[in-house]
């Protein structure tokens, strides 16, 4: 079994030795930093090539959201942590339920702060952890594995497909080598890492960019943004309370005290406050307008 895994790994792009950094151990601090930075410059270009596939993924996710579905990430190690990170940032940024976007990591929450390397080797555990979340055919699962081959992730993907759900996959190996059956594969190939096999580097950066693009674009398509401002944020901290007031002030031209007053009347909901101001209606009418406009402010304020 070990030899099988050895043979499987040795030819992966993510496990190859980077010819540009062969002597990095002999370099000065400045030169090491420059070498890392030079390699990082390849990341956005690799992601750019995958935009057509990221677009397909967004359509899948938005369709699920509009049909009472949820979006799940599943991964191990760095990939799992990135999924959990992206999911955890959606509620405060876009005002959605923590249930809407969820991250599942091999080894559970303890793996977020301390590596649980052996947890990724069991495909059945991936399926089990997915089912424990109440995953259904209306949901979407996005597997994340820089090397493509992570058994835990593949097990979860197989389970999702058995349930009839849509599946996505983010990997940093070439599309030509993608042998996992999913609806959309996103494959930003960033090349060998600065330190051989350390996919928390370029592969991790590429993955973070892709996940940002999927959820951010999906939320924009749900009306969570007005112009380029997040207007469905939750006022759960002093910073977010003040950001909410600033957004209202920027859009409406009102004073600090006036913005504060409107937010209080709107129950702290920025979108409602803005529609109240821009359409000159009361809270009840503003909420009704937003509902009829699918959450889009620019539609809600039209006569």
- Give just the sign of the alpha carbon dihedral 63, 68, 74, 78: positive
* Enclosing H/E stretch for 141: strand 140-144
Q: Check if 258 is active-site.
A: no
Tokens 């497909």, located at residue: 161
50 is catalytic: no
How far is residue 227's CA from residue 141's CA, in Å, rounded to a whole number? Answer: 29
Which helix or strand (DSSP H or E) is residue 140 part of? strand 140-144
Write b or e for each residue in 72-97: b if 16 or more Cβ atoms lie within 10 A of its Cβ, otherwise e.
bbbbbbbbbbbbbebbeebbbbbbbe
First to last CA, the chain: 68
The DSSP H or E segment spanning 289 is: helix 283-292
Instruction: Answer whether 152's CB lies under 8 Å from 182's CB.
Output: no
Catalytic residue among 8, 15, 48, 89: 89
Catalytic residue, candidates 34, 50, 99, 120: 120
Q: How many CA atoms lie within 13 A of 106 on its CB side?
A: 28
User: Taking the CA atoms of the chain, what radius of gyration do you get in angstroms?
Assistant: 22
Which positions are catalytic? 89, 120
């Amino acid at each position: 079994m070990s030899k099988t895994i050895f043979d499987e790994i040795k030819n992966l792009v993510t496990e190859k030795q980077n010819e540009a950094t062969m002597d990095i151990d002999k370099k000065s601090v400045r030169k090491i930093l420059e070498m890392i930075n030079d390699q990082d410059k390849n990341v956005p270009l690799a992601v750019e090539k995958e935009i057509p596939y990221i677009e397909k993924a967004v359509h899948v996710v938005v369709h699920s959201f509009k049909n009472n579905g949820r979006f799940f990430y599943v991964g191990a190690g760095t990939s799992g942590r990135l999924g959990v990170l992206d999911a955890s940032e959606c509620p405060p940024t876009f005002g959605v339920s923590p249930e809407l976007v969820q991250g599942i990591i091999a080894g559970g929450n303890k793996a977020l702060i301390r590596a649980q390397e052996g947890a990724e080797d069991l495909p059945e555990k991936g399926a089990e952890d997915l089912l424990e979340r109440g995953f259904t055919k209306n949901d979407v699962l996005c597997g994340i594995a820089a090397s493509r081959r992570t058994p835990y992730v593949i097990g979860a993907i197989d389970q999702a497909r058995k349930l009839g759900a849509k599946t996505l996959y983010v990997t940093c190996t070439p599309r030509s080598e993608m042998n996992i059956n999913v609806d959309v594969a996103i494959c930003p190939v960033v090349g060998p890492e600065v330190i051989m096999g350390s996919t928390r580097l370029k592969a991790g950066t590429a993955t973070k960019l892709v996940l940002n693009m999927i959820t951010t674009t999906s939320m924009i398509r749900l009306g969570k943004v007005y112009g380029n401002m997040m207007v469905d944020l939750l006022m759960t901290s002093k910073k977010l309370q003040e950001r909410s007031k600033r957004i209202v002030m920027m859009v409406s031209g009102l004073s600090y005290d006036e913005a504060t007053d409107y937010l209080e009347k709107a129950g702290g909901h920025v979108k409602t406050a803005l529609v109240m101001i821009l359409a000159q209606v009361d809270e009840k009418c503003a909420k009704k307008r937003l509902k009829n406009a699918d959450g889009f402010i620019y539609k809600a304020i039209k006569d």
